[in-house]
Amino acid sequence: KLKAKKVMTVGDFYTLHYLPYATQHLRSWSRYALYYRKHLKGRFGDLPLNKVTLADVQRLHSELAASGLKPATCDHYAKFMRRLLNLAVEWGLLTVNPLTGLKLFNADNKQQRFLNQDEMQRLMQQLDKDKNREVACLITLLVATGARRGEALQARWCDIDLVARLWHIPSTTAKNKTGRYVPLNDLAMAVLDECETRRSA
């Protein structure tokens, strides 16, 4: 008889396969690492991949909610486990993902608030006189372009066309991995002019 092949545990899969992949492909990998250490490692770490059940993860999802965590946070833990097993299937270490029928809260905890005209004016006045010019310029550029903070922090002069007044955000920097061009208005041009002056000084 053929000797049964030992199935890898969730912990070994996380350490040997998922973590090396995540650190190279996911910008938010450290957040998922925290999820694993905080509530998943003790519960599933020593369990073989094929012994994780939908009932187990659904129970954890409910217990996290009962402990006071926000519904969206509970969903993040459950979705991370589902993604972990999806990768195990994709990489041939598991036959089927038992978490395909996972029930989530699907809560929307995002809040949007827009500055009114008076608040915007006070913000711009403060930024104009703030002594920390690097931070002030960064925030002003975000206000002027609507770009994300990470995109602005990784901006390079070779991606900016001052003549055409365009800023190219490459796919390697963009959050959704799709490059785009951002028009530069007068405020953005003034910020870049200050940055270039400071760089040349």
Q: If 0-12 CB within 10 Å is exposed, 13-18 middle and 19+ buried, where does residue 72 land?
A: middle
For the CA atoms of 114, 118, 119, 124, the dihedral, rounded to the nearest 10 degrees, stands at: 110
Supply the pTM of this predicted model.
0.58
Structure tokens belonging to residue 132: 């920390």
**pLDDT (0 to 100) of residue 4:** 47
Report how far residue 191's alpha carbon sits from residue 138's, in angstroms, rounded to the nearest whole number: 8
Q: Are 72 and 61 in contact (CB under 8 A)?
A: no
Strand partners, 180: 169
Q: Report the chain (201 residues): mean pLDDT per 10 consecutive residues.
A: 66 96 89 95 95 96 94 94 95 93 78 83 92 92 92 92 94 81 94 81 55
pLDDT, tens digit, 9 for 90 and up, residues 129-176? 999 999 999 999 999 999 999 899 999 999 999 999 999 999 888 777
